[in-house]
């Protein structure tokens, strides 16, 4: 299942790199942060409100006890405190302690003056035991009574503090939950968006491969993606008409011009066969025949490039062996190399299979070997080789190397252009279409064309490699 695993892995990588995922997560994270800030504000306000209620309750009790003291004196204050203690709950929600300045208890529900912590708000905070053996936290205020006694009035804040802690924990859990939802929703939205964009990319790759009738699917939802697909489909339809029209014109021109050129060459060959007496006439006829053959070759090359760029001949593809193809081309060009005093060497071993068009690949090999022989000086060397590039997924390739003048790195892109001739005087035979055809056929086969120096010496020579993609493995059945 390696192929399926690789596709899933590449899909996951594209998803992680998706701009949609990043933007969605940023948006949702911003929303989550704002929501957390809002919840934090609510928490702070709620806690402040509950603290204010406690302070107001204590202040109200202190006011009431002061009034009782002013009306009934110290004895009456003691009676009121005892009454309030009897009516208070058993968990000491209300706390009272009236004592002298020596700390001796006079009235109240505390046995002794507690050790308190003075807070910034003026309150005293402390802990006291309950009848159940537990400890509760409390807050209180104190004031002096006629400089002979002092009174502590407080309330238990245990329930309030527990409520604040519960509210704080719930806010943190809510923020974490929102963060998790933000990530999940971001992945889902990015996956949906990436899927729609991948459908467009897949259609674009098939169109670039030559399927001009391919169109982008429209889901029918009427959204922006459907509008984009409809506009792209309309553009593709127009481009298809233009390409088909141009192809028909190219084919017609090629056929219409190639036919009279072929007839002209035949008539010239017949005239030359009659062996005219004038040597000048024979030379002119032979030169004209060569020019006619060059023109026919140019039209054939242009037609081949146009068809390769348009993705034609895919129906003619087959699984073929590069080693066998290379051996055939070597046998074809070996006499020419010997005639020019060039050492032509072929290096190939076991079968190297690729899926492609036999005629086009043979023409590519022939063009590369012909160029190498053409630009290599007498006594030079041209090497032909094919094999598998080492790696995790070995990729098939074939390569042609020579020890000629080579091509400077800054001129290699120009060398791939149609009718490009690197010699200003254009004295070398040819039409400048050889490497253009090689590039067009390489693109048709999803192969990579590499032009490199063959050596570090002088002259550097040229190494041309056509690197095919690794063969697709059929997933094994489970």
- Asked whether residue 269 carries a pLDDT value surpassing 50, the answer given is yes
Tokens of 294: 């060059």
Cα–Cα distances in Å, from 119 out to 116, 133, 140, 290, 402? Answer: 9, 26, 10, 109, 91
**Res. 94 pLDDT band, cuts 50 70 90:** confident
**Options 2.20.28, 2.60.40, 1.10.287, 1.10.10; which CATH number does 224-307 get?**
1.10.287
pLDDT in tens, 423-440: 543 445 544 566 777 887
Q: What is the pLDDT of residue 13?
A: 54
Three-state DSSP state, 69: helix
**Res. 382 pLDDT band, cuts 50 70 90:** very high
Can you tell me the mean pLDDT for 308-322? 69
Residue 78 CB-half CA count within 13 A: 10
Contact 360, 321 (CB under 8 A): no
**Res. 393 pLDDT band, cuts 50 70 90:** confident
Assigned CATH topology for domain 313-467: Heat Shock Protein 90 (3.30.565)
Count helices and strands in the chain by DSSP H and E runs: 9, 13
- Asked whether residue 186 carries a pLDDT value surpassing 80, the answer given is no
Tokens of 398: 């074939």
Q: What is the pLDDT of residue 278?
A: 77
**Residues 6+ positions from 80 with CB-CB distance below 8 Å:** 65, 68, 72
Can you tell me the mean pLDDT for 41-62? 87
* Exposure b/e, 186-222, CB count within 10 A at least 16 = b: bbebbbebbebbeeeeebeeebeebebebbbeeeeee
d(CA 305, CA 193): 37
d(CA 42, CA 44): 6
Three-state DSSP state, 185: helix
**Res. 390 pLDDT band, cuts 50 70 90:** confident
| C-alpha 339: how far from chain center | 54
d(CA 385, CA 398): 6
Phi-psi domain of 124 (left: phi exceeds 0; alpha: psi -120 through 50; beta: other): beta
**Options 3.30.450, 1.10.530, 3.10.450, 3.40.50; which CATH number does 11-208 get?**
3.30.450
Q: What is the pLDDT of residue 7?
A: 45
Contact 126, 115 (CB under 8 A): yes
Q: Domain coordinates of the chain in residue numbers?
A: 11-208, 224-307, 313-467
d(CA 442, CA 426): 26
- Asked whether residue 283 carries a pLDDT value surpassing 70, the answer given is yes
Q: What is the pLDDT of residue 69?
A: 84
Q: What is the pLDDT of residue 330?
A: 92
Q: Point out the least confidently predicted range of 175-189, 286-300, 371-385.
A: 286-300
Tokens of 262: 């072929």
């Amino acid at each position: 299942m390696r192929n399926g695993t690789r596709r899933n892995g590449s899909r996951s990588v594209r998803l992680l790199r998706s701009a949609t995922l990043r933007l969605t997560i940023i948006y949702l994270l911003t929303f989550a942060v704002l929501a957390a800030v809002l919840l934090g504000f609510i928490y702070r306000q709620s806690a402040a409100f509950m603290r204010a209620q406690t302070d107001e309750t204590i202040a109200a009790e202190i006011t009431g006890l002061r009034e009782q003291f002013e009306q009934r004196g110290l004895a009456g204050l003691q009676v009121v405190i005892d009454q309030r203690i009897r009516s208070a709950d058993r968990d000491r929600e209300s706390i009272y302690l009236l004592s002298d300045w020596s700390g001796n208890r006079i009235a109240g529900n505390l046995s002794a003056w507690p050790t308190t912590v003075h807070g910034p708000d003026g309150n005293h905070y402390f802990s006291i035991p309950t009848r159940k053996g537990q400890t509760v936290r409390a807050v209180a205020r104190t004031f002096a009574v006629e400089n002979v006694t002092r009174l502590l009035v407080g309330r238990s804040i245990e329930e309030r503090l527990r409520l604040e802690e519960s509210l704080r924990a719930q806010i943190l859990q809510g923020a974490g939950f929102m963060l998790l939802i933000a990530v999940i929703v971001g992945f889902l939205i990015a996956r949906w968006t990436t899927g729609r964009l991948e459908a467009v990319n897949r259609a674009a790759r098939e169109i670039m491969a030559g399927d001009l009738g391919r169109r982008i699917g429209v889901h029918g939802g009427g959204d922006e993606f459907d509008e984009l697909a409809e506009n792209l489909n309309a553009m593709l339809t127009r481009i298809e008409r233009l390409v088909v029209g141009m192809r028909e014109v190219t084919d017609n021109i090629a056929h219409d011009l190639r036919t009279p050129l072929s007839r002209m060459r035949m008539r010239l060959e017949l005239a030359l066969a009659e062996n005219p007496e004038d040597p000048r006439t024979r030379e002119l006829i032979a030169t004209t025949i060569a020019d006619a053959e060059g023109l026919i070759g140019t039209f054939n090359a242009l037609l081949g490039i146009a068809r390769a760029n348009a993705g034609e001949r895919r129906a003619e593809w087959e699984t073929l062996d590069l080693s066998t193809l290379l051996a055939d081309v070597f046998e074809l060009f070996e006499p020419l190399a010997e005639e020019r005093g060039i050492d032509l060497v072929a290096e190939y071993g076991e079968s190297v299979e690729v899926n492609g068009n036999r005629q086009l690949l043979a023409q590519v090999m022939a063009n590369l070997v012909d160029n190498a022989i053409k630009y290599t000086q007498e006594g030079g060397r041209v090497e032909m080789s094919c094999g598998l590039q080492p790696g995790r997924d070995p990729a098939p390739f074939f390569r042609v190397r020579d020890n000629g003048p080579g091509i400077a790195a800054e001129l290699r892109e120009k060398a791939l252009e149609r009718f490009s001739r690197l010699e200003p005087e254009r004295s070398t035979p040819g039409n400048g279409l050889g490497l253009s055809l090689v590039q067009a056929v390489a693109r048709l086969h999803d192969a990579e064309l590499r032009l490199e120096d063959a050596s570090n010496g002088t002259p550097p020579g040229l190494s041309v490699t056509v690197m095919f993609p690794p063969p697709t493995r059929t997933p094994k059945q489970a």
